[in-house]
Chains A and B, each alone.
Chain A
Amino acid sequence: MTASARRERSEVVHALRDAGITALISFGLFLPLVGLLTITNMNNELRLTTRLPLLVIFVALIAGVRLLVTLVIRPWAERRRALSTRKPFSIPRSFSRWFVPFAIGFLVVYPFISLAAVGYSGSLKWIDNFGIQILIYVMLGWGLNIVVGLAGLLDLGYVAFYAVGAYSYGLLASHFGLSFWILLPLAGILSSFWGILLGFPVLRLRGDYLAIVTLAFGEIIRIVLVNWVDLTNGYAGIAAIPRPTFFGIPFNTDDNGFAATFHLTFSPTHRTIFLYYLILGLALLTGYVTTRLRRLPVGRAWEALREDEIACRSLGINTTNTKLTAFAMGAMFAGFAGSFFAARQGFISPESFTFIESATILSIVVLGGMGSQIGVAIAAVAMIGGTEIMRDMDFLKAIFGDTFDPTQYRMLIFGFAMVLIMIWKPRGLIASREPSVFLKERKTISSELVKEGHG
């Protein structure tokens, strides 16, 4: 036996022992919750049954993955690291130059592609579930990006402003019959007022504390929505919210409806396509305004605030105003998105504005790479598109049996993906910073060189 063969053998033995220990630990981890199942029997008493096969599968899977990592993946990664010098990943200028127009062009023709591919009834799912749903989150992500990514203020209660926008539209439209186009800006204004109102008390807080207080505010607003039944109808929510019209032309089968006016056969997909373009426009507006704001003094003040609050203050920047404008701008876009959401659903209830929503939006911003607009959009597509795909994985039923419901696992995988992506790329997918102000040439620096979240 040669020396190298012996070393290889000892490596295998070592990896096997390691996998054995992992199996033992994971057996302990999963024994109570996976190995045992609490079920209610006929007499309505709680009883236990065992699920040992499932436990064995879990343990074997984890030990197998561990073995694979130590024997195959880690040596491979080390060989690769030895070969290449580490460079911070950044988007080449040429890429971002053509990517954005290409992406916008694709989004504009997307409904027609899907119409051509799967017809009117088939494309409803593609435009609504994928197009509109993802674009709402892109818009929310960009809105929160102002607060978290640019100003560095960690906000865990962003969904509160989304709720304010949605309830503004829902209540004002159903009680006073105001049109969508009046209420859209109004919802934005009301939300930004709330942004300032909630921003004031937390001005002195920083980092994690700010996050928890904003979380508390978000929950307070949700609890008020649940309990103020006279106004909000509590858990039952507001139903039959008037839908937006095409500049006064409703989407229905009437003679003055959209289909009749434009001599088309009536289809509910028309409204969906209109809503798609509406949210596309709103999202692009958010992105455009953010990009422009970054070049204005207020945007530069936000970014300065994120990098170092003390330095910022000593340079004479009014940090109070800077923080409040960030809150107000972020909240305004959430208000727009909220009123769109209410108009699209036609029904809103406090269930749509739970903490999980805030966490989802925040994770989109962080996973995308804070401050990077393209990154946020890509993260929204990956996270929301991914969870939507989980919805219709019916083929999994063929593998796991008819009782298997993939939607149950959406949030489970979502949570775990957040952890994994943080470990893999803690700075987000696009972890480079392009300065908006520069002297002679634009230099992209890795975001590992700057700090954030101190604001």
Chain B
Amino acid sequence: MDVFVQQLINGITLGSIYGLIAIGYTMVFGIIGMVNFAHGDVFMVSAFIALIAFLIVTTWLGITSVALAIFIMLIVSMAFTSLINWAIERVAYRPLRGSFRLAPLISAIGMSIFLSNFVQVTQGPRNKAIPPIIRGEFILSGHDAYTVTLSYKQIIIWGVTAVLLAAFWYLVAKTSLGRAQRACEQDQKMAALVGIDVDRTIAMTFVIAAALAAVAGTMYVMYYGVVSFSDGFVPGVKAFTAAVLGGIGSLPGAVVGGILIGLIETLWSAYFTIDYKDVAAFSVLAITLIFLPQGLFGRPDVEKV
């Protein structure tokens, strides 16, 4: 039972990170119908930027306040990652709008290869590790053999994820930008006719997706304390799985899917074998798509002639 509770806590933490990345997939797919293959690598880049921000804050500026350090990491990572994703959309996807269907996907695969290799070339192939930012934990139930703990890091991840999701939900549901996004999702031509700047709305979607990926990246660095150039691919695929599981295009679905994937992964590692934890996540993807293609919260896709 204790093991189960502990894995539940770990799984929700990991799932929050996946959920934040999954929103990026789901939004971009919703608005332009494209699997943004490079999104996992955007997440990796954001984690790198957060790590660099951490080094600036601690070694150059000498700030010791943990809360301030994390806040600065978040802001810096969100700002730069948003700019990068905006530029990626501008360079690699916008010229392909209206082109044939596979073109943006291939372009995104190219971008994904480019991003991970760019980081490898500029920052080196080795793992980058930083000392733990936050130590300490609550002990929920203690035995001699096994203690269930809830670390401060995990609480911060839950809190930050919840707050940002609320802010983000407000943005999509209540603001004019959100309305424009939903309009473009339904019909781009019609949206343009009623005066929505479609290009700008799509660009903003990429910016928001990147900002949420940057939150995930910052949390990832804070939680694991290590990042390398190849860390984008697997979380990217898992987050995509989460988006599909929740029903692609559905925002609450992405978060629920993310947490489910996180739970499946940690519980699988705890009770079966850690070697095959990625197989578990990938199998969930295949099974979902085959038996429940619209996901948990998605609308069924009507086939039109």
Contact = CB atoms under 8 A, between A and B. Distances in A.
Interface of A: 25, 28-29, 31-34, 36-40, 45-48, 154, 201-202, 204-205, 207-209, 211-213, 215-217, 219-220, 223-224, 226-227, 310-311, 355-356, 359, 362-363, 366, 370, 408-409, 411-412, 414-419, 422-423, 426-427, 448, 451-454
Interface in B88-140: 91-92, 95-96, 99-107, 109-115, 117-124, 126, 128-131
A18 B114 CA distance: 25
Contact of A32 (B52, B279, B303): B52
Contacts of A216: 237, 241, 282-283, 285-286
Contacts of B96: 422-423, 426
A223 B278 contact: yes
Given A28-B80, A48-B52, A202-B290, A219 B109 contact: no
Given A422-B107, A426-B99, 20 more contacts: A25-B83, A33-B48, A33-B118, A33-B122, A38-B55, A39-B124, A46-B51, A201-B286, A205-B290, A208-B105, A211-B105, A220-B282, A223-B278, A224-B279, A226-B275, A412-B114, A416-B114, A422-B103, A422-B106, A426-B96
- Closest 4 A/B residue pairs (Cβ): A418-B110, A415-B113, A415-B114, A216-B282
Contacts of B196: none
Contacts of B184: none
Given A216-B285, A220-B282, A34 B122 contact: yes
* Secondary structure dominating the interface of A: helix
B80 A412 contact: no
B34 to A, nearest CB: 7
A223 B276 contact: yes
Interface in B259-305: 275-276, 278-279, 282-283, 285-286, 289-290, 293, 303, 305
Contacts of B289: 202, 205, 209, 212-213
Contacts of A366: 102, 106
Contact of A362 (B29, B59, B109): B109
B203 interface: no
B191 interface: no
A453 B110 contact: no
Contact of A48 (B60, B126, B278, B283): B60
Contacts of B35: 208, 211-212
* Secondary structure dominating the interface of B: helix
Contact of A417 (B29, B76, B110): B110
Contact of B117 (A154, A215, A220, A411): A411
B293 A40 contact: no
Interface of B: 29, 34-35, 45, 48-49, 51-53, 55-56, 59-60, 76, 80, 83-84, 87, 91-92, 95-96, 99-107, 109-115, 117-124, 126, 128-131, 233, 237, 240-241, 244, 275-276, 278-279, 282-283, 285-286, 289-290, 293, 303, 305
Given A48-B59, A419-B91, A453-B101, A37 B123 contact: yes
A416 B110 contact: yes
A212 B119 contact: no
Contacts of B76: 32
Given A46-B55, A212-B244, A219-B278, A451 B100 contact: yes
23 contacts: A29-B87, A33-B118, A33-B119, A34-B122, A38-B124, A201-B290, A202-B290, A205-B289, A208-B29, A212-B35, A212-B289, A216-B241, A219-B282, A220-B282, A224-B279, A226-B275, A356-B113, A411-B113, A412-B117, A415-B117, A418-B109, A419-B92, A422-B106
Contacts of B120: 408, 412
Given A33-B119, A453-B101, A205 B293 contact: yes
A38 B52 contact: yes
A29 B275 contact: no
Contacts of B110: 363, 414-419, 422
Contacts of B118: 33, 412
Nearest to A427: B100
A362 B106 contact: yes
A414 B117 CA distance: 10
Nearest to A314: B305
B18 to A, nearest CB: 15
A366 to B, nearest CB: 5
B216 to A, nearest CB: 17
Given A38-B55, A204-B290, A220-B282, A29 B303 contact: no
A31 B100 CA distance: 34
A212 B285 contact: yes
A426 B100 contact: yes
Given A32-B49, A422-B107, A220 B279 contact: yes
Q: Which of A45, A408, A426 has the most CB of B within 10 A?
A: A426
